Chains A and B, each alone.
Chain A
Amino acid sequence: MSAVYGPIRQIAAALAWILGIGLIAAIVSLSRPDFGLAQLVEAHLEESGVRHPVTAVLLNYRGYDTLLEIAVLLLAVLGILAFRPPGPATIPDAAPDSSPVLAALSRLIVPLIVLAAGYLLWAGAHRPGGAFQAGAVLAGGGVLLRLTGTIPSFESPNAWLRVSLVVGLGVFLAVAALPLFEGSRLLEYRTAEAAMAILVVESALTVSIAAILATAFIGAAPPRIRCMSPSRPAHSAEGERAGQS
């Protein structure tokens, strides 16, 4: 830990201490809560179309938050793709990672990952699980495939990738808007229709989340890693060490 500018450190420490103590005092002083919310969640659980209460909150009662959340995810990857100079759709690796252990491991693990993701997606209806968990696991598989060179790097996403990135938000928007045509309100679904709507939305979300997270990983890598070219920008010694990875 190197020496930091004195006053900044003292101010930061003071701020952290004051805020910490103040917040703890605030928390301890709170009166006994009176939560009717838990009963409401339970009471309407049957109408919500799923059996797990957290999934009900995420995808039915407060589904609008989840809709905006997938927009945030998409936005992150749009931002990552936004400031890079344009380039080809596929960049073959000059020297892909040829570690035999990694290759063998990925052959074993990736199918298991797909299986696990499918299970998580299905399980979300009645126990902890759901689209985000499944999507994240799938994205992990995608990263693994990228590391072994099975998935090539790219500069701009091709058509299929664009579709998978957008399908989550698109399907969710469509499902949300559908009740509007029948005179109901946004995202108004009950029981059987709700179960179907949630299934459709979660499947689309899983695909998109996996694509988004994997694209974020691939797309954020700088050109010299992508092209494995020998030229490097001039920088400090610490940078040289970091550049070896």
Chain B
Amino acid sequence: MSGISFAAPWIPLLILLPLMAGALSFLFGPRGHRSLLAATMTGIWFSLIRLILEFENAGLQHYPIGGWGAPLGIDLRADGLSLAMLGMTATVGSFISLYALGYFAGDENRGIRFWPLWWLLWGALNAVFLSADLFNLYVTLELLSLSAVGLVVLAGDRDSLAAGLRYLLAALAGSLAYLMGVALLYGAYGTLSLERMAGLFRPEPANTLAASLITVGLMLKTALFPLHFWLPPAHGSALAPVSALLSGLVIKASFYMLLRLWFEVFPSALTEIFTQGIGSLGAIAVFAGAWLAFHQEKLKMLIAWSTVTQVGYLFLTFPLAAASSTSAPAALSGGVYLAVSHAVAKAAVFLAAGAMLKVTDEDRIDRLEGVGRHLPISLFAFAMAGVSLMGLPPSGGFIAKWLLLNAALSSGQWWWAAVLVLGGLASAAYIFRVLRRCFLPPREYAAFHPVPLVMPLAALSLAGIALALGLAAAYPLRLLQTGAPLLLEASAPSTVAP
């Protein structure tokens, strides 16, 4: 099942290319940033496609850095889950980059500072999804958090500064909790490799404490209720492309780590108390987030609270996957598919909102009348992406919720099914609130500025992809399911009832 690919450089390239681009973009500033963007994006896509082809041929891709191999060296690894995440990052990242070209067109200063930070963030994301070493994951997580905070404060005003500081403190606390957990596990087993740890782990109290610390740290970074307090101000006050990549990509990285760790390394520690508990927090997040989203005055804050809601859905994966071996594949595929669809749809929504806000120079929802007439493309993108967020067909969000519903019903946990269905209604409420405003005729004194075409087009493309994920779900799902046997085997009946 595990293939050794010797000289294929695709895995390291996926990490090296964005890091190199970050260094170069800082060095050269505004000169040549478009060529750098084109070259690096081409390189990343080329490497990703080659990697997927290798994976289809040879299965799990293993890459021991330096030729040393775990436990001495650090291993990189690509399975179906990693590839799905990498594909999500590349897709959303590419369109956000194109959008950013238009967004920063009149704003040279911020544009110069955006690119190095964004490249390093992209590199950090790829590094997280490919890493198979516990401590290495800590360093990549820090790289991710610091670049995210840097991008939040890029806006330069007082609100984003405070929001960025709050985000930084939360991120640092989360990382330290994670590191303490890793320190305990390393002290117990003497290895940092995910695979070795998976073989050695036993559900003893000390290890359970370590797993709990790791989980709390990652929950803080994914903004699961009640540790979500930092997210709405940070995502709401950041610049539109930054909000898109924060909500779309950054929080998925820590969620990915939770999935990877719980279902591959310590599935034997999964207890019903834990899974039902974390699912309950998710359910609270779904309804509380939707309620608060509906009552927001500013558009970006509404979308940020929507992220809190969607993160709640993601955590339903845990009770659904751990319940039985029959529901596990559907639940895990559903959870990951939801993460990917949400990334695409949420990014589209933030990008569309950014265009709509730039057109009117307003950020309040009740001032958005008339946008429909001036920015039809953006509004259409918002609506299409909203379909995915609500979980209506045809969209990636629908497929994901369908899978999760199947898992809920097949494992007899009808209460989660209720959460999924009712949550969709709640999401619809706040989406329609925005749409209703935008279709109203404009106020007499409203002024509308032109917006570079690439911005609405990028939003529209992402929204289209969100829909396409609903129509062409077979291939991505097959990639996920064939590629993550570790995930699926481990989630089988080794779960322990309390």
In the complex, the answer to whether A79 meets B27 with C-beta atoms within 8 Å is no
In the complex, the answer to whether A65 meets B66 with C-beta atoms within 8 Å is no
Tell yes or no: A90 within 8 A of B by CB. Answer: no
In the complex, the answer to whether A78 meets B19 with C-beta atoms within 8 Å is no
Residue on B nearest A185 in the bound complex, by CB: B67
Given A23-B209, A81-B113: A68 and B72 within 8 A (CB)? no
The residues of B that contact A26 with a CB separation of less than 8 Å are: 184, 205-206, 209-210
Complex CA–CA separation, A85 to B150 (angstroms)? 14
In the complex, the answer to whether B113 meets A65 with C-beta atoms within 8 Å is no
In the complex, the answer to whether B113 meets A61 with C-beta atoms within 8 Å is no
In the complex, the answer to whether A75 meets B16 with C-beta atoms within 8 Å is no
Tell yes or no: A173 within 8 A of B by CB. Answer: yes
Main secondary structure of the interface of B (DSSP, over half): helix
In the complex, the answer to whether A79 meets B66 with C-beta atoms within 8 Å is no
Tell yes or no: B65 within 8 A of A by CB. Answer: yes
Complex CA–CA separation, A163 to B28 (angstroms)? 9
From A36, A62, A71, give the contact of B190 (CB < 8 A). Answer: A36
Inter-chain residue pair count (beta carbon < 8 A): 160
Complex CA–CA separation, A63 to B142 (angstroms)? 17
Tell yes or no: B188 within 8 A of A by CB. Answer: yes
Interface residues of A in 51-74 (CB under 8 A from B): 60-65, 67-69, 71-72, 74
Tell yes or no: B63 within 8 A of A by CB. Answer: yes
Complex CA–CA separation, A23 to B153 (angstroms)? 36
From B7, B19, B147, B209, give the contact of A169 (CB < 8 A). Answer: B19
In the complex, the answer to whether B23 meets A68 with C-beta atoms within 8 Å is no
In the complex, the answer to whether B206 meets A29 with C-beta atoms within 8 Å is yes
Complex CA–CA separation, A69 to B19 (angstroms)? 12
In the complex, the answer to whether A61 meets B19 with C-beta atoms within 8 Å is no
The residues of B that contact A76 with a CB separation of less than 8 Å are: 146
From B9, B66, B143, B209, give the contact of A75 (CB < 8 A). Answer: B143
Tell yes or no: A144 within 8 A of B by CB. Answer: no
Interface residues of B in 115-149 (CB under 8 A from A): 116-117, 120, 123-124, 127, 135-136, 139-140, 142-143, 146-147, 149
The residues of A that contact B22 with a CB separation of less than 8 Å are: 71, 74
Complex CA–CA separation, A82 to B152 (angstroms)? 10
In the complex, the answer to whether B136 meets A64 with C-beta atoms within 8 Å is yes
Smallest beta-carbon distance A97→chain B, Å: 29
In the complex, the answer to whether B66 meets A189 with C-beta atoms within 8 Å is yes
Of the A-B pairs whose beta carbons lie under 8 Å apart in the complex, a sample of 6, sorted by A's number, is A65-B136, A65-B139, A75-B150, A78-B150, A83-B154, A166-B27
Smallest beta-carbon distance B63→chain A, Å: 7
Smallest beta-carbon distance A58→chain B, Å: 12
In the complex, the answer to whether B127 meets A68 with C-beta atoms within 8 Å is yes
Tell yes or no: A10 within 8 A of B by CB. Answer: no
Complex CA–CA separation, A76 to B146 (angstroms)? 7
Tell yes or no: B94 within 8 A of A by CB. Answer: no
In the complex, the answer to whether B73 meets A62 with C-beta atoms within 8 Å is yes
Tell yes or no: A86 within 8 A of B by CB. Answer: yes
Given A33-B190, A74-B23, A177-B16: A186 and B206 within 8 A (CB)? no
Smallest beta-carbon distance B37→chain A, Å: 18
From B139, B149, B155, give the contact of A69 (CB < 8 A). Answer: B139
In the complex, the answer to whether B136 meets A82 with C-beta atoms within 8 Å is no
In the complex, the answer to whether B74 meets A22 with C-beta atoms within 8 Å is no
From A34, A37, A62, A71, give the contact of B19 (CB < 8 A). Answer: A71
Complex CA–CA separation, A60 to B24 (angstroms)? 25
Tell yes or no: A162 within 8 A of B by CB. Answer: yes
In the complex, the answer to whether B66 meets A61 with C-beta atoms within 8 Å is yes
Residue on B nearest A189 in the bound complex, by CB: B66
In the complex, the answer to whether B23 meets A64 with C-beta atoms within 8 Å is no
Residue on A nearest B71 in the bound complex, by CB: A37
In the complex, the answer to whether B187 meets A79 with C-beta atoms within 8 Å is no
Residue on B nearest A83 in the bound complex, by CB: B153
The residues of A that contact B6 with a CB separation of less than 8 Å are: 183, 185
Complex CA–CA separation, A170 to B120 (angstroms)? 13
Complex CA–CA separation, A36 to B71 (angstroms)? 9
The residues of B that contact A30 with a CB separation of less than 8 Å are: 187-188, 206
Tell yes or no: A101 within 8 A of B by CB. Answer: no
From A23, A33, A86, give the contact of B109 (CB < 8 A). Answer: A86
In the complex, the answer to whether A79 meets B127 with C-beta atoms within 8 Å is no
In the complex, the answer to whether B142 meets A162 with C-beta atoms within 8 Å is no
Ranked 5 nearest A-B pairs via Cβ: A79-B150, A26-B206, A186-B12, A83-B153, A35-B190
Q: Which of A35, A68, A165, A189 has the most CB of B within 10 A?
A: A68
In the complex, the answer to whether A27 meets B187 with C-beta atoms within 8 Å is yes
Given A68-B136, A170-B23: A185 and B72 within 8 A (CB)? no
Given A61-B72, A65-B139: A83 and B205 within 8 A (CB)? no
Residue on A nearest B20 in the bound complex, by CB: A173
Given A26-B206, A35-B190, A166-B27: A72 and B143 within 8 A (CB)? yes
The residues of B that contact A44 with a CB separation of less than 8 Å are: 68, 72
Complex CA–CA separation, A85 to B109 (angstroms)? 8
Residue on B nearest A194 in the bound complex, by CB: B66
